[in-house]
C-alpha cells in the first residue's frame, strides 16, 4: 500500500478518492483548473512544505499533526473537513495573501508508492472530463502534456521539501519542544522552552531549519481566532480620552481582524 506524502498515511476513504495518473487510466481525459477555491472548504488541514511555513504563518494558523509516525506542519483552515472555512469566501476567494500549493494544485496531489513519487488526482472533484475542454492529461504519444508535466514537477519539488519539513518538526519533537493536545491531537511549540535557549541540539535544529518551523508555528497562532467567528473581537471604537487604557486594548484586539475586514471589502 502506498503512503501519501501529504499526511504520511492514507485512510480508506482517501484511497477510494485518489487515483494515480497513468496513460491507461487518464489517456484521452482532460482536466480543468478550478475557477475558485471552494474546494478548499472540504478540508480542515492543509499540509505544508518547509518553504511554505513562514509565508503561511503570516496569514494562516499552523499546527503540528502526526504524519504517520512523524509530526509535520499543516495549515489549519477549518475546524473539521467538509465544515467550511473562514478563509474561503462564499464566492470562493481565498482570504489570505498566501495559498498553499496543496490547495492551488487541485485536483492534483502527490503520493509515495514503493519509494516513488506518484501523481494522483481526485476523480470525484468534478474537474476531470472526457470532453476536450481544459488540458489533456497526455499527448498522443503517451507522454504527459506540457500542462500536466508542469503540475507534476511542482508537486515533486513540493514533496521533497515536505520531507524536510517533517525532519525539522521531528527534531523539534525529539527535543521536547512540541506540546501535544490530548483532545485535538494537534501540537504547538513550547515557546518558553524554546526561548530559554538551553538546547543541547541547537546546532542540529539550526541545520534542519527547525527554528523557522518553530517560530513560524508560534507566530501563526495569532490567526487561530479567525476559525471561530463568535470569538472574533469587535471592530474597535474611536479613541476616548476618558478611558485611554480600554481604548488601547480595543485597538489592539481590532487589529486581529484587519485581514478579514480588508478581504471583505474586496
Domain ranges of the chain: 12-230, 232-266
pLDDT in tens, 38-81: 999 988 999 999 999 999 999 999 999 987 778 999 999 997 76
Cβ-based neighbours of 238, under 8 Å, separated by 6 or more: 247
The residue among 212, 119, 197 whose CA lies nearest residue 164 is: 212
What is this structure's pTM? 0.79
**What is the CB neighbour count within 10 angstroms for residue 141?**
6
pLDDT in tens, 152-208: 999 999 999 999 999 999 999 999 999 999 999 999 999 988 888 766 778 899 999
Residues 40, 56: Cα–Cα separation, whole Å: 15
CA atoms within 13 A on the CB side of 19: 14
Rama region for 122: left / alpha / beta (φ>0; ψ in -120 to 50; rest): beta
Residues 175, 248: Cα–Cα separation, whole Å: 39
> What per-residue confidence (pLDDT) applies to 94?
95
Q: Judge whether residue 148 has pLDDT over 90.
A: yes
Q: pLDDT grade, residue 229 (50/70/90)? A: low
Please give the helix or strand (H or E) that residue 254 lies within, else none: helix 244-255
What DSSP assignment string belongs to 58-124? TTS-EEEEEETTEEEEEEE-SSSTTS--TTB-TTS-B-SS---HHHHTTTEEEEEETTEEEEEE-TT
Average pLDDT of span 128-141: 91
The residue among 20, 19, 17, 27 whose CA lies nearest residue 137 is: 27
Residue 232: all three cell numbers together: 472574533
Sign of CA dihedral 20, 23, 28, 34: positive
Amino acid at each position: 500500500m502506498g503512503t501519501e506524502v501529504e499526511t504520511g498515511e492514507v485512510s480508506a476513504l482517501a484511497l477510494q478518492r485518489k487515483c494515480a495518473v497513468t496513460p491507461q487510466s487518464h489517456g484521452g481525459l482532460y482536466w480543468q483548473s478550478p475557477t475558485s477555491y471552494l474546494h478548499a472548504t472540504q478540508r480542515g488541514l492543509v499540509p505544508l512544505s518547509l518553504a511554505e511555513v513562514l509565508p503561511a504563518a503570516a496569514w494562516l494558523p499552523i499546527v503540528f499533526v502526526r504524519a504517520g509516525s512523524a509530526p509535520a506542519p499543516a495549515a489549519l483552515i477549518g475546524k473539521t473537513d467538509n465544515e467550511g472555512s473562514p478563509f474561503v469566501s462564499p464566492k470562493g476567494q481565498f482570504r489570505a495573501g498566501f495559498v498553499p500549493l496543496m490547495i492551488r494544485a487541485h485536483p492534483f496531489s502527490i503520493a509515495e508508492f514503493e519509494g516513488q513519487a506518484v501523481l494522483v488526482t481526485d476523480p470525484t472533484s468534478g474537474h476531470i472530463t472526457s470532453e476536450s475542454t481544459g488540458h489533456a492529461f497526455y499527448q498522443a504519444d503517451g507522454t504527459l502534456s506540457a500542462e500536466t508535466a508542469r503540475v507534476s514537477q511542482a508537486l515533486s519539488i513540493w514533496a521533497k521539501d515536505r520531507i524536510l519539513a517533517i525532519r525539522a518538526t521531528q527534531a523539534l519533537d525529539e527535543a521536547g519542544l512540541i506540546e501535544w493536545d490530548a483532545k485535538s491531537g494537534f501540537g504547538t511549540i513550547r515557546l518558553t522552552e524554546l526561548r530559554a535557549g538551553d538546547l543541547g541540539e541547537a546546532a542540529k535544529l539550526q541545520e534542519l531549519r527547525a527554528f523557522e518551523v518553530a517560530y513560524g508555528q508560534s507566530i501563526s497562532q495569532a490567526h487561530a481566532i479567525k476559525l471561530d467567528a463568535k470569538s472574533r473581537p469587535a471592530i474597535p471604537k474611536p479613541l476616548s480620552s476618558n478611558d485611554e487604557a480600554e481604548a488601547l486594548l480595543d485597538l489592539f484586539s481590532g487589529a486581529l481582524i484587519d485581514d478579514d475586514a480588508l478581504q471583505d471589502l474586496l
